[in-house]
A and B are shown apart, each in its own frame.
Chain A
Amino acid sequence: MGKQTKIEIGVGILVVLTVAALFMIALRASNFTATFQDRPTYTLRAYFDNIGGLKVRAPVKLSGVVIGRVSTIGIDPETYQAWVTMKIDQAYRLPLDTSASILTSGLLGDQYIGLEPGGDEEYLADGDEIEITQSALVLEDLIGQFLVKMSDQGGEQ
């Protein structure tokens, strides 16, 4: 086996291993496949009093299945409410009276938007607004309310 052949085989091994590593990372360890499955989406908008820890790219779930992602988050300068736009897969149509609430996966998990379909016969179209919304539960507020209740009860007794 000539020296040049040996070098070429060695470089070949390096290239094969690199390609294998890339494939493994792309297919099994990252969202590479998802970024190329760009399915057509439509945009919905919703106003919340408080979005808690919701972030851009957070999932939008219907009955626990991810059907879209949060695309932008902002503040309405007049009402001081937070608005969230989300891109929903066009395969899923949602009734007009769908409600959106911000939920948490697990006790310490990430926050996501949960959709609850209503019974309306008409469907939400691109750019529509989800009118029935429920804000995120902020743990500190909850504890605060609980403490106030406790102290009230203590005062009565």
Chain B
Amino acid sequence: MLRFVQWLGHHSLSRIRAAGRLGLFLFSLLPALPYALWRVALLLKQVYNTGTLSLPIIMTAGLFVGMVLGLQGYNVLVDYNSEEAVGTMTALSLFRELGPVVAALLFVGRAGSALTAEIGLMRSTEQLSALEMMAVDPLKFIFAPRFLAVVIVLPMLALIFSALGVLGGYLVAVGWLGVDEGAFWSQMISHVDWYDDVINGVIKSVVFALLVALLSLFHGAEAVPTSEGVSNATTRTVVQGSLGILALDFILTALMFN
């Protein structure tokens, strides 16, 4: 019994300590961020690594999610004789929820894990210490460009995801199931609001991007410098990132769409 209580206390304390270290990490990272803007080449490389290389998975997933939404929406709406609303339904669910959330989830798996592994490996091979020895601040050279790249890239990917999803819904609904094309687009235009739906979705994905960037860099920097430690750190990034995205999404939805 006493051991259980001790175990509980130990884990609570270590969680609180980890949260504290995360906060300290963020505060040491923030002043380094402006330097990333001056090193355009470093920033571009990270935008390429995290963004361009994630494009295939984001685009395929967006197309298929949109197609599934079109198919499912059609099956329900056709009972009420309002199958034209399938466009509205697809667009609203993509812009408000699925675009930002699914893009962020895929992004954690594709790019967040890679970032953690990369930095973890840098740490275990003592490249970070070597940089410090040369009086090069790894925060400015390694962390800041990656953080900024993630924050820039994820909203872009979410937009591409949503647009392709709408296209997928269009292909299924209009091309395959025979929904009227004019009604499909005109209903969408009259029900989707630029600020309330599209811009709020972009704001969501910016918040998710901050979370993903912070978590993946933090876990990379915290990784135990062994191959097992790096793999554990990668797992933590993906698990905490995914759960964090879903929890934040609930909070943001409650704030935005009430």
Footprint of B on A, CB under 8 Å?
Answer: 4, 6-8, 10-11, 13-15, 17-18, 20-22, 24-26, 28-32, 34-35, 106, 108
Residues from chain A with Cβ under 8 Å of B91 in the complex: 29-30
B191 — nearest CB in chain A belongs to which residue? A31
Contacts A14-B51, A29-B188 aside, 6 further interface pairs with beta carbons under 8 A come to A14-B52, A18-B160, A26-B194, A29-B163, A29-B185, A35-B194
Q: Decide: A30 and B45 in contact? CB cutoff 8 A.
A: no
Q: Which residue of B lies closest to A59 (CB)?
A: B190
**Which residues does chain A contribute within 8 Å of B156, judged by CB atoms?**
14-15, 17-18
Cβ A8 vs Cβ B44 within 8 A: yes
Task: List residues of chain A with CB within 8 A of the CB of B102.
Answer: none
Whether B166 pairs with A7 at a CB distance below 8 angstroms is no
Please determine whether B51 and A31 come into contact, CB atoms closer than 8 angstroms.
Answer: no
State whether the Cβ of B4 lies closer than 8 Å to any Cβ in chain A.
no
Check if B83 is an interface residue, CB within 8 A of chain A: no
Q: Return A68 CB to nearest CB of chain B, in Å.
A: 14
Going nearest first, the 5 A-B pairs with the smallest beta carbon separation are A21-B163, A10-B52, A18-B156, A32-B194, A30-B192
The contact size tier of chain B is 20 to 34
**Cα separation A17 to B41 with both chains bound (whole Å):** 21
Inter-chain contacts of B44 with A (CB < 8 A): 7-8, 11
Would you call B222 an interface residue if the criterion is a C-beta within 8 Å of the partner chain's C-beta atoms? no
- A13 contacts B194, CB within 8 Å? no
A41 to B185, CA, bound (A): 26
Closest to B195 in A: A35
A7-B44, A17-B160, A25-B159 given; A31·B189 CB < 8 A: yes
Inter-subunit contact B45/A29 (CB<8 Å): no
Count A-B contacts at CB 8 Å: 83
Query: B189 near A30 (CB under 8 angstroms)?
Result: yes
**B residues touching A (Cβ–Cβ < 8 Å)?**
41, 44-45, 47-48, 51-53, 55, 59, 80, 82, 91, 95, 153, 156, 159-160, 162-164, 166-167, 185, 188-190, 192-195, 197-198
Say whether chain B's binding surface is mostly helix, strand, loop, or mixed: helix
Bound-state CA distance A8–B162 (Å) is 24
**Residues of chain A lying within 8 A (CB to CB) of residue B166:** 24-25, 28-29
- Residues in B with CB closer than 8 Å to A13 are 52, 55
Q: In whole Å, how far is B150's beta carbon from the nearest beta carbon of chain A?
A: 13
Output the least CB separation between B49 and chain A (Å). Answer: 9
A-B contact pairs, 22 of them (CB 8 A): A11-B47, A14-B153, A14-B156, A21-B159, A22-B159, A22-B163, A24-B163, A24-B167, A25-B162, A25-B163, A25-B166, A28-B185, A29-B188, A29-B189, A30-B192, A30-B193, A30-B197, A31-B192, A31-B193, A31-B194, A32-B194, A108-B80
Quote the shortest CB–CB distance from B96 to chain A (angstroms): 12
Which residues of chain B have C-beta atoms less than 8 A from A6's C-beta? 48
Most buried by A among B51, B82, B95: B51
CA distance A113 to B198 in the complex (A): 27
Q: Which residue of A lies closest to B88 (CB)?
A: A29
Most buried by B among A11, A15, A29, A108: A29
Which residue of the partner chain, among A11, A30, A31, contacts B52 with CB atoms under 8 Å? Answer: A11
Collect the chain B residues with CB atoms within 8 Å of residue A32's CB: 194, 198
